[in-house]
Amino acid sequence: MAVLNKLQTFFIKMSLRKKLWFILMWPMTGLFRLAVVVLPFRWYRGVLGQHWGNTELCVLTSDRQLQRAWQIGRAVELAARFTPWESKCLVQALVGACWCRLYGIPYVVHLGVRKDEAEGMKAHAWLCTGKLVFSGREGHRSFTIVSTFLHL
C-alpha cells in the first residue's frame, strides 16, 4: 500500500518540474556516491566551488534565488531518500551545487567535523545561500567548519 501511495504522489500530485528534477537528480546521487567512494577528494572537489579555507561565509542572493535554492534542496533530499545506495550530506551537497550552478545561484558549501563521544569523529557537509541552509540542515550548527567552498 505504501508503494501505491508513493506512485500516486509521483504521478498525480507532483508537478512536472519536480518529476523531471527527481528523474535527473536520482542518478546524479549514484554518480556522486561512486565518486566519493572511489576517487580521492581532490578529483571532485572542484564541483563544490573555489576553496576559501575554513571561514564561515555568506553570499548575497535575491528572494527568487533563495526560493529556487529551497526547492533544489527539497528535491535533492527527496531523490536521496529513494536511492538504494547511501546518499548522505556530501553527495547531496555535490548534487545541490551542480543544480545551483545550472540556475545561476551563488552558494557556499561548508565541511565540518565534531567529536562524538559514542561514535568518535563525525563529518558533515551543508550547502547554503544567503542565510538559508538548504541541504544538510540537520545539526549543522554542532559541527566546526574545517573547509569552505564558494561559487558566485
Q: Which three cell numbers stand for residue 74?
A: 527539497
- How many structural domains are present in the chain? 1
CB 105 within 8 A of CB 60: no
The answer to whether residue 141 is domain-embedded is yes
The answer to whether residue 81 is domain-embedded is yes
Q: What is the pLDDT along the chain (152 residues), one digit of tens a residue?
A: 565 565 556 656 678 888 899 999 999 999 999 999 999 999 988 999 999 988 888 898 999 999 999 999 999 999 999 999 999 999 999 999 999 999 999 999 999 999 888 878 999 999 999 889 988 887 788 899 999 999 98
The answer to whether residue 73 is domain-embedded is yes
Question: In whole angstroms, how large is the CA radius of gyration of the chain?
Answer: 16
Boundaries of domain holding 70: 17-151
Q: Which three cell numbers stand for residue 117?
A: 563521544
Full-model pTM: 0.89
The answer to whether residue 65 is domain-embedded is yes
Q: Which three cell numbers stand for residue 16?
A: 512536472
The answer to whether residue 7 is domain-embedded is no
